[in-house]
Amino acid sequence: MPTSPGVRIVDSADVADDATIGSGSSIWHLAQVRETAVLGENCVIGRGAYIGTGVVLGDNCKVQNYALIYEPAHLGHGVFIGPAVVLTNDTYPRAVNPDGTQKSAHDWEPVGVTIKDGASIGARAVCVAPVTIGAWATIAAGAVVTRDVPDFALMAGVPARRLGWVGRAGQRLVEDGSHWVCPATGTRYRENEGALEELAEHD
């Protein structure tokens, strides 16, 4: 497989020969990385996690134990996937066709979940494809995401709904007049028609 310096793959992991593993990445016990998957630099794939065929991960992603990342998912840089998270890929799942014959790979079209830079998906959350999770958004543990999520959104529930906003540090933003402020970094944001914009220091 095409690998770079500093890659660690434990003996019990199952990594396809044509998967690409970036420098500094680690793949732990019983994890499976399928054919043509691409992992960026410094990724961590936890015990028992599954990375599907052709799935793409950016740099510095963490996929925790027993998460299932089905193709054709695409993860940006710095994405966190919690334990037992599922990214689905079948809009109309069935084991059989309408005539009762067993479905094959040719009988359905996979659809993917896209997760943008810095977003975090909490433990046991399910993202139902096709959806896009915005940059730096946080999906709470156990949530079921059925529609696109804006950047910096804090989502929870079944189905997931926006409870507020979070900053790059992951903490919930505090409303301050016409702005939102991160209590950890002091960064200010402006909300406009259901979207959040990070402001420059002089704004």
Please report the domains of the chain, with CATH numbers, ordered by start residue: 8-102+109-171 (2.160.10.10)
pLDDT at 148: 98
Residue 86 β-bridge partners: 68, 126
C-alpha 160/C-alpha 182 separation (Å) is 23
Instruction: Write down the pLDDT at residue 39.
Output: 98
Q: What is the pLDDT of residue 174?
A: 96
Burial (CB < 10 A; 0-12, 13-18, 19+), residue 92, is: exposed
Q: What pLDDT, on a 0 to 100 scale, did the predictor assign at position 203? A: 56
pTM of structure: 0.94
> What's the pLDDT at 26?
97
Distance of CA 89 to the CA centre of its chain: 13
d(C-alpha 31, C-alpha 100), whole Å: 33
What pLDDT is stored for residue 107 in this prediction?
A: 87
Please pick, among 29, 74, 77, 179, the residue that the annotation labels catalytic. 77
- Shortest CA distance to 14 belongs to which of 26, 38, 31, 36? 31
DSSP-assigned letter for residue 31: -
Q: Which two tokens stand for residue 139?
A: 């999906």
Q: What is the DSSP letter of 100?
A: S
Q: Both tokens of residue 134?
A: 């915005």
Contact yes or no for 81/67 (Cβ under 8 A):
yes
Strands 113-115 and 131-133: parallel
Q: What is the pLDDT along the chain (203 residues), one digit of tens a residue?
A: 555 779 999 999 999 999 999 999 999 999 999 999 999 999 999 999 999 999 999 999 999 999 999 999 999 999 999 999 999 999 999 999 999 999 998 888 999 999 999 999 999 999 999 999 999 999 999 999 999 999 999 999 999 999 999 999 999 999 988 899 999 999 999 999 889 999 987 55
- The span from the first CA to the last CA of the chain, in angstroms, equals 48
pLDDT computed for residue 54 by the predictor: 96
- Residue 29 bears catalytic tag: no
86 and 127 Cβ atoms separated by less than 8 Å: yes
Q: Do 144 and 158 meet the contact criterion of CB atoms below 8 Å apart?
A: yes
